[in-house]
């Protein structure tokens, strides 16, 4: 077949794109792409072409992608969890220090000084910027994925008392978590005891506005909150009220908006969580390698809408991949079509995720166009590819 076509919607790191190799055509003006790689560009109002097999987000969040629409069309959506974890971890640690020591306020004040006695003015005025150390303070980490685990472990190393909350923590992340991190069975424990709270969770219907009036009422007075995950996790109006009431002493957000940008106690960071060259390279490389493996071999890793499914490198005449609904008798119907053609199945794998599933079949003979169409016409089949 000809080259696979990849459309890029943002400036994707060249160190990642070069991993595609010569079998791929890449650019911003590609028509009828097989795959799309993007960072923050929104696809919600974009018509997805029939040629499209996959979308890769060079980052963890996928709120800019219409997941339900893609799933119904059999389009695999990838993200790159963990690729930017160290960058966000470092900013979270910096955010705790910035919120404690009044560094930003102090620098802004110092820049406003005039005259030939600046040094004396500094010594006279520095007392207004006194702030506590973070050592021995209590930190609540909400969300123990790749980033949350790294933040929790770093805080332990800085001699903080760390509470971790995540009812859905994976086995791999649990293994990576320091034994010194205390388990919080509910958010009330985090709110009641912690001097600092940092959010590392995705935005969902369940988590939207989770820090609101009711949550702030349960918090320790003077708590410092860091939000490097998603702005909508915090209800802005309630945060402003909590700051004015002294419940929250500082709020560091990586998602500033007109509601909070000039509120005293808010440190607005211009969405710098993953803004390091290392992070951008890591995300691009991971997104590219996942896209390349999927298009060339049909394998799925780090998809947000379809299950993990891997049969390695294809070495047979044809590999058939089928995205379909997770319903009874699907495998039997697919096998029946292949059996009627007299095609020998060398290997077959099926994985499901909720209401959807993905099947890979290695064939020792070519499958006819007619039988590909027959499989496509099976009720519940969403997309069929022949590799």
Which positions are annotated as active-site residues? 230, 258, 271
Question: What whole-number distance in Å separates Cα of residue 293 and Cα of residue 279?
Answer: 21
* CA–CA distance, 119 with 113 (Å, rounded to integer): 10
The span from the CA of 182 to the CA of 377, in Å, is 53
Contact 129/109 with Cβ under 8 angstroms? Answer: yes
Taking the CB of residue 138, how many other CB atoms lie within 10 A of it?
20
3-state secondary structure 190-246: HHHHCCEEEECCCCCCCCCCCECHHHHHCCCCCEEEEECCCHHHECHHHHHHHHHHC
d(CA 14, CA 18): 6
DSSP 128: G
Distance of CA 59 to the CA centre of its chain: 5
Cα dihedral 180, 186, 192, 193 in deg (nearest 10): 0
Q: Are 287 and 281 in contact (CB under 8 A)?
A: no
Q: Give the number of residues written for the chain.
A: 387
- Distance between CA atoms of residues 297 and 315, nearest Å: 9
In this structure, the number of other CB atoms found within 10 A of the CB of residue 246 comes to 10
Label the pairing between strands 196-199 and 138-142.
parallel
Q: Characterize 313-348 residue by residue with b for buried, 16 or more Cβ atoms within 10 angstroms of its Cβ, and e for exposed.
A: ebebebbbbbbbbbeeebeebbeebbeebebeeeeb
In contact, 331 and 358? CB cutoff 8 Å: no
- Vertex 244 angle, CA 240 and 249, to 5°: 90
């Amino acid at each position: 077949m000809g080259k696979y076509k990849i459309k890029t919607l943002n400036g994707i790191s060249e160190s990642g794109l070069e991993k595609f190799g010569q079998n791929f055509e890449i650019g911003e003006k590609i028509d009828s792409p097989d795959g799309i790689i993007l960072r923050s560009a929104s696809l919600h109002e974009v018509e997805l072409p029939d040629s499209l097999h996959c979308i890769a987000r060079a980052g963890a969040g996928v709120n800019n992608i219409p997941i339900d629409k893609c799933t119904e069309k059999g389009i695999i959506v990838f993200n790159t969890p963990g690729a930017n974890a160290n960058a966000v971890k470092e900013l979270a640690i910096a955010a705790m220090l910035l919120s404690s020591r009044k560094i930003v306020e102090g620098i802004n004040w110092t820049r406003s000084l005039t005259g030939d006695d600046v040094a004396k003015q500094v010594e006279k005025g520095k007392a207004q910027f006194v702030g506590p150390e973070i050592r021995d303070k209590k930190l609540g980490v909400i969300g123990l994925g790749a980033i949350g685990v790294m933040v929790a472990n770093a805080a332990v190393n800085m001699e903080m008392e760390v509470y971790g909350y995540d009812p859905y923590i994976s086995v791999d992340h649990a293994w990576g978590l320091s034994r010194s991190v205390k388990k919080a069975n509910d958010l009330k424990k985090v709110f009641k005891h912690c001097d600092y709270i940092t959010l590392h969770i995705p935005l969902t219907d369940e988590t939207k506005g989770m820090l609101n009036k009711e949550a702030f009422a349960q918090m320790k007075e003077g708590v410092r909150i860091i939000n490097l995950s998603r702005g909508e996790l915090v209800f802005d109006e309630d945060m402003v009220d909590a700051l004015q009431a002294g419940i929250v002493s500082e709020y560091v957000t990586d998602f500033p908006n007109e509601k909070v940008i000039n509120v005293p106690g808010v440190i607005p960071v211009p969405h710098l969580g993953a803004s390091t060259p290392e992070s951008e390279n890591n995300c691009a490389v991971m997104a590219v390698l996942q896209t390349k493996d999927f298009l060339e071999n049909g394998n799925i890793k780090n998809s947000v809408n379809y299950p993990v499914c891997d049969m390695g490198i294809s070495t047979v005449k044809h590999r058939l991949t089928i995205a379909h609904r997770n319903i009874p008798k699907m495998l039997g119907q697919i096998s029946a079509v292949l059996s009627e053609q007299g095609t020998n199945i060398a290997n077959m794998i099926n994985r499901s995720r909720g209401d959807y599933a993905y099947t890979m079949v290695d064939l020792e003979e070519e499958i006819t166009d007619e039988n590909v169409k027959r499989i496509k016409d099976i009720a519940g089949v969403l997309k069929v590819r022949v590799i």
